[in-house]
Amino acid sequence: MTKVHNFSAGPCILAPQVIKKASEAVINFNNLNLSLLEISHRSDDFVEVMDKARNLVKKVLNVPEGYEVIYLGGGASLGFTIAALNFLKVGGKAAYINTGTWASGAIKEAKKIGAVEVIASSEDKNFSYIPKGYTIPKDIDYLHYTSNNTIFGTQFKSIPKTDSLLICDMSSDIFSKPIDVSKFDLIYAGAQKNLGPAGSTLYIVKKELLGKTGNSIPSMLDLSNHIAKDSMYNTPPVFPVYVNMLTLEWLVELGGVKEMGRINAEKASTLYNEIDRNPLFKGVVEKEDRSEMNVTFVLNNEAHKDRFDQLWKKANINGIEGHRSVGGYRASIYNALPLESVKVLVEAMKELEKTA
């Protein structure tokens, strides 16, 4: 089989050994002569999977005592509402930083729950930078931000400092490097970037803060209910959770988030160095805010587009077309993408330079 270099923004690349083990479980899980897709989520075999998947998150991210880890369905877009319902008090106010499409979506949904103040935004320059120098109000219930922006290719390089609660949508860079979970009160992340296939969302929440908003929260959106039932309040996304578990096992074998951070930094620098060196290309975001997960760039002359498209397709590269709101190209270099694939893309860029 010809190797495909998969730069898809999500659902995205998974480690080959994870896919192999997952495919075997679809046929025969735990030698039960049953498919993972058809076993009961209440069975001992799957309860063990769920427990291990949750405990691996705690191990990999060094999650402190007092935090709970749960897996839910619905994607991070449902997390926009869940975060607000569980933390925005009746009569209170939340602060949001707007850095792109998903941050804008979180703001839109939170406004349906209560008062929201957008304290900083990079919309004025098509979200090509991370806002700085903003003032965080004292009278807020929480501050919400999106750590990495898949569409525009920006990433927070430091955690915002606030005396209020801190909530973060880490969908596209969780597990890509070490983080200090103790700085956050809620982290949520769709799985389909660095954790597994689409269909599950990870929540890491400081348990003692729940149940204090005064909101009448629908049962399925109340994090307390899911914590009380160990992520089994309703039938969980069985297959995605299993693949999440396999991915976390792979990450531990690799050396954990510290080693993953080193690898990701090397991949990102390899590609950004070529973008900056090659006169035919340029990046589209401020250099200090460049994402290590989603590298966005354009051609300086669109006359070269057909030729470059031929080159990267010939190299068996997939998924680098830019989002329609940005254009150009977007190379998503999530955890499971090897450095080898980045080098193949760089070679295609160099080849364009030679033949232009």
Q: Which positions are catalytic? A: 102, 169, 193
Angle CA 9–10–12, to nearest 5: 95
> Phi first, then psi: what are they for 121, rounded to 5°?
-155, 145
CA distance 5 to 281: 20
CB 26 within 8 A of CB 33: no
b/e map 290-299, b = 16+ CB within 10 Å:
bbbbbbbbbb
Residue 227 burial class via C-beta count within 10 angstroms: exposed 0-12, middle 13-18, buried 19 and up? middle
CA distance 9 to 145: 20
CA distance 242 to 22: 8
CA distance 298 to 349: 11
Both structure tokens of 41:
């989520």
Residue 214 burial class via C-beta count within 10 angstroms: exposed 0-12, middle 13-18, buried 19 and up? exposed
Q: Which stretches of the chain are DSSP H helices?
A: 16-27, 44-61, 75-87, 101-111, 223-228, 238-254, 256-277, 305-314, 339-355
CB 329 within 8 A of CB 346: no
Centre a 10 Å sphere on the Cβ of residue 306 and count the other Cβ atoms it contains.
Answer: 9
Nearest to 186 by CA among 162, 202, 163, 200: 202
CB 206 within 8 A of CB 70: no
CA distance 181 to 178: 9
